[in-house]
Amino acid sequence: MQTFFDEMNDQGKVRPPYARLQEWLAAMPAELRNLKQAEAEALFRRVGITFAVYGEGGDPDRLIPFDMFPRVFSAQEWMRLERGIRQRAKALNAFLADVYDRGEIIRAGRIPARLVYLNEAYEPAMAAIRPPRRVFSHIVGVDLVRTGPDAFHVLEDNCRTPSGVSYMLENREIMMRMFPDLFRENRIEPVDGYAEALRRTLASVAPEKCDRDPTIVILTPGHFNSAYYEHSFLADLMGVELVEGQDLFVEGDRVWMRTTEGPQRVDVIYRRIDDPYLDPLCFRPDSMLGVPGLMDVYRSGGVTICSAPGAGVADDKAVYTYVPEMIRFYLGEEPILPNVPTWQCAKPEDMKHVLAHLPELVVKEVHGSGGYGMLVGPKSTREQIEAFRARLIERPDNYIAQPTLALSTVPSFVEEGVAPRHVDLRPYCLVGERIELVPGGLTRVALRDGSLVVNSSQGGGVKDTWVLAE
């Protein structure tokens, strides 16, 4: 039987970071717990913290499940994670700057050219463009899993537009409102500086032609997007305009925003729409979401797009396997945080291993996200495994495989009381003039008993994440 590391109780003893939470838990009767859970749900509903799932019927603005029991890291644990995340974000940006320029890592034979130049996330239109400060991915979401007291692994990288930071901030806000005594009794590092750090990061990459305080906007696909709440939430926190494509236009070598007081020049666009829809004159001609001519202004240095088009090639799951090599190649360092062991199904030997051990592995699409398009072998039926085997054989280059990790667990409030549930962590690394992280991140929790899939789209929930001050 597989055993899992419990982050609160290790070999029958409460681990030091959780000592005061154990007292808090023991003093909370079930009736109060249920009352507080209902209060949390009411707060989430009141402020509009929702998550829509495409293709589902029912409530399009459903609540994301919130678990009141926080996840806790010591200052020492966070220090190591922060060093590893910074290192990874630096290497990923160096890789992007390289492959859209001379491609030295490919010339050196450290990564296959086909994985980059034939990748559907690679944007030829970005070739030879040098964004301000040579930063391509300005918000890097690094998904981490834990398997032991000192064993952390990077599960995947998110270099395009990683979502979920609004939940990180709102989880903290709601916990502070419901349990103020907990925050008086525990020295917890704050996360409320994220919005200011994000604004500072975006301002630091203003284009060369910007000769004043930059005007920053968030570009959203609109209110039907599943992350629209987050777009509007961040715009409010930063004090910037939330715009749709129709609110912007190009004239001369600038991008302008329509306002009631006339056109206003825009310098930095934090885009939350996908590459193909950014500019119908450069990408998909049928896009109604983007801004015609945007890429011409970008090339000329009249506007900065955050994150840059084409940044997604760095978070492709096949390219992910080479991130440790990127760290060695660009930084001359050994990775602080290791990858999860990964088999590339495009390689015949790897494919042979995967097909022979399919019931034991997790298999993912290289461009997949949200928990879709994947097989969790130990949790699948024989029929599901055989159906997936046929897809693998048809498109081996579309998949990678990983072992089924013994993800750590954290106590969670569930219907039957308090029980361990599997978690992961997504910290948000901001890259501009400098690299910044707020202490913590988004802890996602698999609320279904035995489930290893934490994605919100697959029934997962969220927790507040604490980093204790030294």
SS (H, E, C) 6-39: ECCEECCEECHHHHHHHHHHHCCCHHHHHHHHHH
The answer as to whether 56 is a domain residue is yes
Co-location of 320 and 424 in the same domain: yes
Residue 370 confidence (pLDDT) above 60: no
373 vs 163, higher pLDDT? 163
Q: How confident is the model at residue 165 (pLDDT cuts 50, 70, 90)?
A: very high
| pLDDT band with cut points at 50, 70 and 90 for residue 56 | very low
Are 196 and 104 found together in one domain? yes
Among candidate residues 358, 387, 403, the one where a domain is terminated? 403
CATH classification at residue 366: 3.30.1490.270
DSSP 8-state secondary structure symbol assigned to residue 214: P
In a domain, 215, yes or no: no
* 61 confidence band (pLDDT: 50, 70, 90): low
Mean pLDDT, all residues of the chain: 92
Say if 265 falls within a structural domain: no
Question: For residue 437, is pLDDT > 90?
Answer: yes
- The average pLDDT across 51-67 equals 62
- CB < 8 Å & 24+ apart, contacts of 6-12: 6/408, 6/409, 6/410, 6/411, 6/420, 7/71, 7/72, 7/146, 7/408, 7/409, 7/410, 7/423, 8/72, 8/410, 8/411, 10/149
Q: Tell me if 362 is assigned to some domain.
A: yes
Backbone angles phi, psi at 400, to 5 degrees: -125, 165
pLDDT of 457 reads 63
Strand partners, 417: 414
| Domain C-terminal end among 387, 403, 419 | 403
Separation CA 117–CA 106 (nearest Å): 10
- Mean pLDDT, to the nearest integer, of 22-46? 87
Domain count, the chain: 2
Largest CA distance in the chain: 68
Is residue 203 domain-shared with residue 348, that is, in the same domain? Answer: no
Question: Cα dist. 248→208, 269, 299 in Å?
Answer: 20, 10, 17
Q: Which domain holds residue 144?
A: 9-207+303-336+405-467
Predicted pLDDT at 3: 82
pTM strictly above 0.85: yes
In a domain, 410, yes or no: yes
Say whether pLDDT at 363 is over 70. yes
The terminus-to-terminus CA distance of the chain in angstroms comes to: 37
Residue 74: inside a domain, yes or no?
A: yes
Calculate mean pLDDT across residues 177-190.
Answer: 93
60 pLDDT above the threshold of 60? no
pLDDT of the residue at 447 = 86
- Residue 53 scores a pLDDT above 70: no
